[in-house]
Structures are given as C-alpha cells and as structure tokens.
Amino acid sequence: MALGCLLAAAACGKSPSAAHEPTHRSSSAPPTHAPVDPAKRAAEIVRSMSDTELIGQVLMPVAYGYQADRVSAEAARHNRNIAGADTPAQIVRKYKLGGLMLVNEGDGNDPTAETNPTSNIATPKQVRELTTGLQRAGTADGLPMLISTDQEFGTVVRLADGVSPLPTGLGVGAAHDPKLTERAWEMAGGELSAVGVNMDFAPDADVLGGPGNLVIGSRSFGSDPQQVAVQTAAAVKGLQTAGVAATPKHFPGHGHTTTDSHHAMPVLTQTRGTLDSQDLPPFSAAIGADTWAIMAGHLDVQAVDPGMPATLSHKLLHDVLRTKMKFNGVVVSDALNMQPVTDRYDGGEAAVHALLAGNDLLLEPPNLPAAQKGLLAGLKSGELPRSRLVEAATRVVTLRARLAGHTQPALSTLRSAAHEKVAGDIAAAAVTTLRGQCTGPLVSGTVRLTGGTDQKRSWLTDALRANGITVSTSGGTQVALTGYGDTTRDLSPNADVTVGMDEPYLLSEVRSKTVLATFGATKESMTALAAVLAGKATAPGRSPVPIQGLPRSACG
C-alpha cells in the first residue's frame, strides 16, 4: 500500500468511521478521467480559449467571505474594491479564473498576513464547503480550479484549528530526518486536500543567514544550504504525493536579508558565487524532486539584476531559473499587492511586466479589473506577445490537469490517529538539549511554568501532570518558555530550565542549568517537551542554526 494510503486510510481503503463520507475528484471538481498526458490535454484546452479566458488562468486573486455565494457586508465591500463583484463565486465567473487564494487575518506573530483585511478561512468544514462552491463556479473546462493557501506551519499557518500541526521549519530541520519530513508533509497535504486546497505556497526554501532575519526566521529549515535542500525536496515529495502542488519560496532566496519585502525591497548583496552556493541549492533540490511550482520573491539581487525585484526580473526568472536551472513548472509571483511592486507599477503595468519577466501565475493583483485591462491592452499593443500569455496559461492549465485525477480525502482524515502520530513523531524528534543532562528527569518536585501564552502553558501543564509531575503557580522548579516575538526583557535568565519554542537565538543569553529547544509551540511540541522533562524520553534534535555559546546539541 502506498504511503499516502497508510497516512490517509479514508482516502484509499476507507475506514469504518469514514465509510459514510463521500470522496470527490480533486477539490470537488466534476469526475474526469485522469489524462495520460496533462500537457497534451492542457494544450488542447488552451487552444480553444479566448484572450479573456487565457488571462483568467494567469491571475490568482483573493476573494473574501466564508461561502462561495453568500458573504458578509464587510467581505462584499472588500471584494468590490479588488474585483468589482460581491462574492467569490461571482469573481470566479466574471474573470473566468483558473485559481483563487485562501487567506486569513493571522495574528501578531505572522509577518505575512497583515495585508489581509479579512478572511475566507474559519474551520475545516467551512473551507471544504467554500472550495466545493468555488469548484462548481470554476470548472467549466472539466478541470479543477487551483485553490491555494500559505500553510507553512509555525508562524505562517492559514488553517490552524482542526488540523494535525507540524512544528516550525526550524523544528523540521532540527528533527534532521528527511523520511520523517516527507511523511509529515504528506500528512499535511492530505489534510489540505480534504478541505479542498490543492496548491500550497510551501515549503519555505530560504537558507537562513542569521538571527536578524525576522520575516523568515523559524520559517526556514536552517542555515546549512545542503541540509535545507534535503528538507525542501522531502517536503515537496510529501505534498505532491498527497495531490497538492508544492510551491517552494522565495526564489532566489530570502534568507540573507533583514528587510521585510511586504514593506520595502530587500537587497541581496552577496556575489553570484555565494548566491549559487548558499541560496540556490534548495531550489535546485526542489526541481530535482519535480516540484510543480516555485514562487519568486520581491528581492533585489544585486549580482544578477540590480534594482529590479526578482519577481519582475527576466534575468532571474528566465536566464537563471528556466535556462540554467532547467525548471519547467509554474512560476508564481509573490503577491503583487506588496510594496516593492506597487511602488514601481500600477496594477495593469505590474501584471504585464510580471508575465514578461517569466511568471506564469500572478498572485494577489491589488485591482483585478486593472490587471485584466492591462493584460488585454498589452496584447493589443504588442507589448505582451500572445505567445507568452499562451505559454503561461498552458503551464497553469497543465498543473490543473495534473490534479484532475486526484481523489479528495474525507474530512474524517483530519486529526486521524495516523496523522496525529506523525505530528507527534516530528514534534518529538525536534526537541533539542542545548545545555544540561541528556538522560533522566530534568525537573523534580513541583514545577512552576512562566512565559509563553496561557494556551501553551495549559498544554504543558496537562502533559507534565500526565507524566506524574506536580505543577503549581508558585515555588518549585521554574520552567520558562520563550519565543514568538520575545526579546531579552521577556527572559527569566536565571530560570532552572529555559525552553525556546521558536527561533533559538535568545537562549544564548540565559544562565539556566538546563536549556532546551522545541522549535515549535503546538500541543504536540508541549507533549514531547513534557516527556523529556520527566525523563520519559530523550531529546534527539539538533539545532539547524548556530547559537552563540551553545552547541547544536549537548547530547552528541
């Protein structure tokens, strides 16, 4: 039996609990025979498309609201602002879209969600109903629409409630087990597929250059290019085994800059040789793993095309990614509503230049009518060769055809026992001892928890008590949690035990006898941490980034 069937039994040989739940062809699209050659089928479909239909394939906007055909007044207002229509289904039909993006408003820890004024994600059941309605609105050509989101886990997670979580990217790197990574991302992909998402803007393939990079931070698998490459390839394989298109990002690499590209254009000053050796290996590995898409970043790569965002750079997208690196899949632009693009071009101009640079799928144009109008005008004037539009649309439709034969799992696969085991396994594999003993109990007597959030302390409290450890609000052994935006002033430097849940760099400033890192703050991470504190498990992880004054692992 394939690994995908082992992890999502309800999608293959249905479990008794899921026997009553129907399964559907990719994201509830009408049943079709999986094409022998997706590219051939795509070429036939594209040949019959009008210019407006071709443009609809290369635009991937957001449409707000929790249902396809009925939304709140607030969501309708935002939809009218960006697309001139009230509901997601109306937008799909009006612009003949081949894809749509799901978003949420995020929280204070998520550096990527602040541009979203509202949401279209609430619960797994709601998302599945929304995506089912979107597929009804958008599958006139018999192929499933691309329904995408950013599900990286850690700080960037769009659907959080009701799914089996993974630790941060650094947590996956700390576990240093690519086979486990592949299983974990196949599990995650299966759950995305169950709610109707068939394209994930993940994994983050950026190689982390140092502690100052707050926009990438724990989203990265680590600081070693070869290790990040191995983990990226494994994540790609896992997602795509589950029938979800992986989209490694942010080409050619966002890890060696401290600027947030949502607000200004990061400048990469490394030499071309350093770019090739430090930033590109994960993208090469993703291509070797047959990734179906890659996302370009708004990055000023001085050694290749100074002053031009990579998303708008023909030198980077065509000469480097297409020609040198031999990538033949879908190139996705980072969001066109971000400042490095909006400062340079209006909506119509940005769409034309993004296509000419080599993007095939234009993400989040800030004004959909302007983008459509600009592309039509570019065709009419000759600025945009129709062959370039056809090429881009064909790649997008080929991806849709790849997904046409995939069976959508039942919702009962979410948080199934098999999935929960995978989530627990990778959380446990990430726990790392950076200072202190490697076996036996690390705490004794009563434990007092500080730092973190109420939820994280509650999870850890329950897990410690399940391991026979008394937890109190005063006295005892202090276990201090840190991470997710904490600074030096948030530390308890003399705590008996300090635990880093996110980026580990602050741990260099504590004097605790025992220093651990979970590289994640999920319930599974807190359960794994409790087992290590109680001496019921060892900490097998290894920090994927250097921490001043501390080893990668104190336990060899």
Provide the annotated active-site residues: 262, 334
Query: For residue 549, how far is the Cα from the chain centroid?
Result: 31
Q: Which of 528, 520, 515 is nearest to 554 (CA)?
A: 515
10 Å CB burial of residue 250 (0-12, 13-18, 19+) is: buried
Q: 200 has which bridge partners? A: 149, 246
Neighbour tally for 126: CB within 10 Å: 16
Question: Which three-class secondary structure string do you get for 376-395?
Answer: HHHHHHCCCCHHHHHHHHHH
Q: Which of 365, 300, 295 is nearest to 336 (CA)?
A: 365
CA angle 349, 252, 315 (to 5 degrees): 55
Residue linked to tokens 């479909």: 45
State the Cα–Cα distance between residues 369 and 390, nearest whole angstrom: 20
Six-digit token string for 212: 């100052």
State the Cα–Cα distance between residues 550 and 556, nearest whole angstrom: 13
Q: Which of 337, 338, 294, 336 is nearest to 316 (CA)?
A: 294
Residue linked to tokens 């995978």: 422
Neighbour tally for 462: CB within 10 Å: 15
- Give the strand pairing for 407-408 and 24-25: antiparallel
Q: 333 has which bridge partners? A: 296
Residue linked to tokens 């799914």: 163
Distances (CA, A) of 14 to 55, 195, 292, 417, 420: 40, 17, 28, 14, 18
Six-digit token string for 228: 């990040």
How many residues can be counted in the chain?
556
* Maximum alpha-carbon separation in the chain: 77
Q: Please give the radius of gyration of the chain, using alpha carbons only, rounded to the nearest integer.
A: 23
Q: Which of 11, 44, 5, 42 is nearest to 26 (CA)?
A: 11
Under 8 Å between Cβ of 510 and 495: yes
Neighbour tally for 489: CB within 10 Å: 5
